[in-house]
Amino acid sequence: MPDDSLSLIGPRLKAWREKRGMTLAELSAATGISSSTLSRLEAGKRAPNLELVVPIARSLRLELDDIVPRAAPDPRVRRTTSRIGHTQYESLSPESSAVQTYKVTFPANEPGVVAVPEPKVHDGQEWLYVLSGRLRLVLGDQDLTLGPGEAAEFDTRIPHWLAATGRGPAEVLSIFSKEGKRIHLRARPTP
């Protein structure tokens, strides 16, 4: 906890006391702490300690987490890049997130070579958005081509397969469940 966060406890206690509609005298009677001590604590002229804060929290029906300011965690995502075959996955969400977000780069096809779809099936939902290039999506009996700015969402229990089509690679923003992450990022490429 940063050093200056203790100075925020008094004003938080005052705000909660006022929110509960209690006077200093009522809180003093409920806690056994003198009104002058409570007033000094709320004004930041008395250092908070557990002997003061715990009975106040109980009287105001609060958890200590409601009173002690929490430091905001670093919101930046530690990005990692992995490859499955020639497809590159760059993580855009924390490992602990319920849904996983990736920037996926599907490599360009070799000139004159048409990729043969090998659809896969797994539990979950997938949502994707084409950032650049052209993406071929085979979904069940549909064979679709998506361009920049187009999106798709589908149940991954339907056989599906994705690859770049056209002259260059396809960059896609992809969001899927933990199960989808396991399938997409840990599957071994077919020889």
- pLDDT, tens only, 113-138: 777 888 999 888 899 999 999 999 99
Q: How far is the C-alpha of 27 from the C-alpha of 55, rounded, in Å?
A: 10
- pLDDT, tens only, 60-100: 999 888 887 677 778 888 889 999 889 999 999 988 888 88
pLDDT confidence tier of residue 187, bands split at 50, 70 and 90: very low
Structural domains in the chain, sorted by start: 3-67 (1.10.260.40), 81-186 (2.60.120.10)
Q: How far is the C-alpha of 125 from the C-alpha of 112, rounded, in Å?
A: 33
**pLDDT confidence of residue 184:** 55
pTM higher than 0.75: no
- pLDDT, tens only, 150-176: 999 999 999 999 999 988 999 999 998
Collapsing DSSP to helix, strand or coil, 36 comes out as helix
Q: How far is the C-alpha of 62 from the C-alpha of 13, rounded, in Å?
A: 10
Q: Which residues of 16-55 are buried (b: 16+ CB within 10 A; e: fewer)?
A: bbeeeebebeebbeebebeeeebeebbeeeeebeeebbee
